[in-house]
Amino acid sequence: MRIHLDHNAGAPLWAEARAAMLEFLGPPANPSSAHRDGARARSAVAAARAEVAALIGARPAEIVFTSGATEANNLALRGASLTGPLVTTAIEHASVLETATALAGAGRTVVVVPVDAAGAVAADAVVRGASSGAGLVSIGLANGEVGSVAPVADVAGGLRGSGVLVHTDAAQAAGRLPIDVDTLGVDLLSLSSPKIGGPAGVGALWVRDGLDVSPQLTGGPQERGRRAGTENVAGIVGFGVAARLARAELGTAVPRMAALADRLWEGIRMRIPGAVRHGPADEPRLPQTLNVGFSGCAGDSLLVLLDLAGIAVSLGSACAAGAAEPSHVLLAMGLDRAAARSALRLSLGPTTTAVEIDAVLDVLPSLVAQIRGQAAA
C-alpha cells in the first residue's frame, strides 16, 4: 500500500465525491438545455455552488466555476483590474507570478514584495507597495511549499477605501484553515477542487457582489457571463461534495493533521542529523505542511528512493515539477541553491494515519544516509 504525503499537490478523491460524480458521467448533462436532463444538471450545479460558497462564508451567486485555481488566478489578475500597478509577493504560485510576468511584458507595472527567512510577508510592506495607485494586490493566503500564512486581512484592512482590489489565492488554505471572505475583507478568492479531495480540472473564483470581472473565455452566457463554456457538471458536483466534507471535517481534521505533522518532524529531527525545517516555526502556518532540508542530500534523489519505497512526496509545488531551477519560494527566503535543492515537502491530509507516519520514519533515515554516503564517496 502506498503512502501519500503529497496532499498539497492533490488529495485523494473522496469516495462520496466519486459516487456523486458517477451520476453525471454518461447521461446528458448540459445545464443550459431546457429539457428535464438540463434542469437536473442545473440543479446539481446550483447545489454544488452553494456548498463551495458555504466553505468560505460567501453567497452562491458570487462563485464562478473554472477549470482550476490556475484559471481562477488568471481571471482575477487579468479580468478584475485592468489599470494600475499589480502588487504581489515573491512566493506566490506560478499561476500568479507567471501571469504577473506576462502582464509586465504587456506594459503593466508589477511590484513584487519580498518575504523573510520564514517565508512571511509583512502586511505594511504590501500596503506600501500598493501606495502608488495600484489596481490589484494578489497575495496567497497560505504557501503550499513551506506553510507560511499571509496577513491577508491586515493587507485588505490597510487598503480599505483606497480603491485597490485585493485577491487571495486560497487553494492551499481551504480545508486546512477556516476561511470567511467577510473576515478577510478581500474582493476575490481562488479555490482548487483537488486540494480538498475533489476531482482535478475544477476550481472556482469568488467575486465579491457588485465587482465587474472581464471574462477571459468568451462565447456563451455561462457563469453569469464571467466564464463561457459548458460547465463540467460531474466535476463541479464532486467539488461540491468535497467542499461540504472539508467544511464538516475542519474542526477535527486540522488538529489531528497538525499532531501528525509534529510527530513526523520530531521523528526526523531526532533521527536524521542536520535536518532543517524551512518555513515558520510557530503559528500561523498550515497545520499539515512540512518542508525539510537534508544537507548533503539531493532532494530529487531522495524523492526517487522514497517513491520506490511506496511513499509519495514532492520537491515543492507540483506546477514546478521537472523544472531545472530549485524552488523559487526557498530562494526567495534566502536559501542558497544547494540548500534549496536538498529540500523535500511532505504534506498530510485528513486520511493520513499515525501508522503511515511511523512507516515513513522507519525508512527515511536510512535513505538519507545512503544518499549522503554516495555523495561523500
Query: What residues are labeled active site?
Result: 319
CA–CA separation, 129 vs 151, rounded Å?
15
DSSP-H helix ranges across 274-341? 299-308, 328-332, 337-341
User: Which residue type sits at 4?
Assistant: H
Neighbours of 112 (CB within 10 A): 17
| Sole residue written with cell 544547494 | 338
Q: Smallest Cα–Cα separation from 291: which of 193, 167, 145?
A: 145
Q: Please enumerate in sequence order all residues whose Cβ is within 8 A of that of 239, keeping only pairs 6 or more positions apart, or say none.
A: 17, 48, 52, 65, 193, 198, 199, 202, 203, 204
129 secondary structure, DSSP code: H
Report the C-alpha gap between 11 and 233 in whole angstroms.
Answer: 20
State how far the Cα of 140 lies from the Cα of 157, in Å rounded to an integer: 16
